[in-house]
Structure 1
Amino acid sequence: MRVEAKWWKKTEDGKVECYLCPVSCKLKDGGVGSCGVRANIGGKLYTFTYGSLISAAIDPVEKKPLFHFLPGHRTLTIATPGCNLHCKGCQNWEISQVPKGEVFKNRFYDETFVPPELIVEKALEHGCESISYSYSDPTIFAEYMLDVAKKAKEAGLKNIMVTAGFINPEPLEEIDKYMDAYSIDLKFFDDKAYREYSKGRLQPVLETIKYVFSKGKWVELTTLIVPKYLTEEQIKKIAEWIGNELAPWVPWHLSRFFPHYKATDLPPTPVEELIKAYNIGKEVGLEYVFVGNLPGNNYESTYCPKCGNTVIGRTGYFITDVNLKEGKCNKCGYEIKGVWEKNPAPSGV
């Protein structure tokens, strides 16, 4: 459904400027933003995806991935089309990459509308404890996410934003008031790699991560190990940045790349490169490093940093074992940082 966008202003030359994200599109009348779903109509900026639900599913929270945020609970995950990044290997490109002008001719955008209250109603009906905004990047459906999140809060549900973090400070500050946890992609630690692979930039992502962490929200980071674009040097810099700028206990997920979309020329990540990245993270002192998208590996579980005890055993997205007592290792008593109960604030923040 088309509604007036929230974060825009008029420019001196008669265009409109969107300041939702760092792309900062300046659009003449009829112009469509880089995201494909925001356009200047008669001198106002409109989003065409308010409530235009294109995907909805009930997932284990581990799929986000969030491993230390109310483990094992069910989260209703929703998405609308569009994205403000254009990753070459996007696995959801069919819904994230909207061709310019598509919103003007596809009836889906005018005729599809799911009201925020219905999302909350369905989450409660199916026993979910949270709503996740994911699949495409929720930055691009920020107005809708914000309205759903407000109603979710009122109903006692948690809100989870799964994002690449490419968003401007002002909208982030407003959205963050209603968020409880974030799963954020830190794709590279090199601006050139960000621009070439995703048409994004590094610094805004780092600022997003630091801001939400400083606000005491639970944060877990994911890095897709993309051959050619992500170097060993970058991997080490990411690990060091997490430990120095955030905390050694912030969970870091390393995910195996498979060729998709416009990156079919790249090979899947060699398994040895994933293990090397894992070891780099542990060597610089990160407490919780995980390897994903590699079925049956030994790095999916949470181990106590002090004694090595398996405090949360996992196979894929499913929990097999829990050895925590009041947020501590039941063997040695070491505090395992995370959100283990529904109401208390994140431990260690």
Structure 2
Amino acid sequence: MEEALLWSREGKKIRCFLCAYNCLIAEGESGVCKVRVNEKGSLKSKSYGKVIGTKINNIEKMPLYHFFPGAQALFIKSNGNNFDWDEGRTDKIKGDPATPEDVVKMVNKKKIRIIALSGNEPTMFFEFAYKLARVAKRYNIKTVLSTNGYITSEGIKKIGKYLDAVNVKFVGSGDNELYKKYLDAPDSSPIFHALKNFKKHRVFIEITNTIIPHYGDNEDAYRRLTDWVVNNLDSSVPFHLMDFKPNDKLRSVPVPAKTLEHFANEAQRVGLRFPYIHGEVEPEYETTFCYNCMQPMIVRDHGLVSKISLEKDRCPGCGFKLNLVLE
């Protein structure tokens, strides 16, 4: 097993500083993630170099809509989850061995310029992600991250200089009761701290919010989240709304399209310029419009780009600059 980063000894135990759980781990035990283990007084990563799967897909699948729109990325999935959600926590390590150099060679061979760390919780294979992002940077390959946002400021400081973009994912607008009851997370406040730190380290930010009928569709929590994004990040941060997919924790019914449209319209009302809906919706809810003249700049069909009408990162009609990363 690879020695982990971001930890210190406290007597015979180890304090992990990777995520906001800050686990105090006894000899032979693991943190809540099940993949960071105290082995004879050192913290080891069981997930290092274990790649469950790779897949080439459009960057919009992250989702990232304003970062190299229409580009392809190599998506990488590994082990580990600190939330008890979706695939949950498990100590069963799967995957084939790989090195960061192996992944970069694969990307170069496929002539792809983006590596997407996604699946489970990518920050839980932090050491591999960190080394991979460093190697990728040397070859001018972009590294993007999809995360639940529970990473600490120490973790972001370490990897931030090598990350190009991040999608931070909220469940139920960050409602604290939902996080406690269904995700086994103390609260959602660390996610807001992480967003501030990603901004501090100049990582391009997009946000996803999963709406859950009856459990995670609280209007007050949603308003707090959207207000916070406008006031603490920027009104031009792309804001994605997702329908909830049932898992072992919740067997909720699908979110009606009208509900998602309502939330998208509310996001615009409080000042967010680029709210998007994923799923079976009207085309306008997945199109990027010029915020100044409201002409369509990037048209998408089921999340995939079908038409781009830009002059670099500006509207060809009025010259308005959009919040995009294109090079």
Q: Residue in 2 aligned with 1:42?
A: 40
Which residue type is aligned with residue 198 of structure 1?
A: L
Which residue type is aligned with residue 235 of structure 2?
A: P
Which residue type is aligned with residue 324 of structure 1?
A: L
1:220 deviates by 0.4
Q: Residue in 1 aligned with 2:141?
A: 157
Give the RMSD, CA atoms, in angstroms. 1.6
1:1-349 mapped onto 2 (5 Å cutoff): 2-12=1-11, 14-87=12-85, 90=86, 93=87, 97-99=89-91, 102=92, 108=94, 112-187=96-171, 188-200=173-185, 201-230=187-216, 231-264=218-251, 266-294=252-280, 297-340=283-326, 342=327
CA distance in 2, matches of 1:114, 1:195: 35
Q: Is the 8 A contact 2:32 2:89 kept in 1?
A: no
Q: Is the 8 A contact 2:157 2:201 kept in 1?
A: no
% of aligned pairs identical? 29
Task: Provide the TM-score with structure 1 as the length reference.
Answer: 0.89
1:317 deviates by 3.0
Which residue type is aligned with residue 223 of structure 2?
A: K
CA distance in 2, matches of 1:277, 1:295: 13
1:295 deviates by 5.7
Gaps of 5+ in 2: none
1:74 deviates by 1.0
Q: Is the 8 A contact 1:38 1:48 kept in 2?
A: yes
- 1:176-234 deviation per Cα after TM superposition (whole angstroms, max 9, x unaligned): 01001111113333322222222222111001111111322210000001122321111
1:298 deviates by 3.3
Deviates more, 1:306-315 or 1:291-300: 291-300
Gaps of 5+ in 1: 343-349
**Secondary structure of 1:186's partner?**
strand
CA distance in 2, matches of 1:294, 1:29: 50
1:304 deviates by 1.5
Q: Residue in 2 aligned with 1:346?
A: none
CA distance in 1, matches of 2:24, 2:58: 39
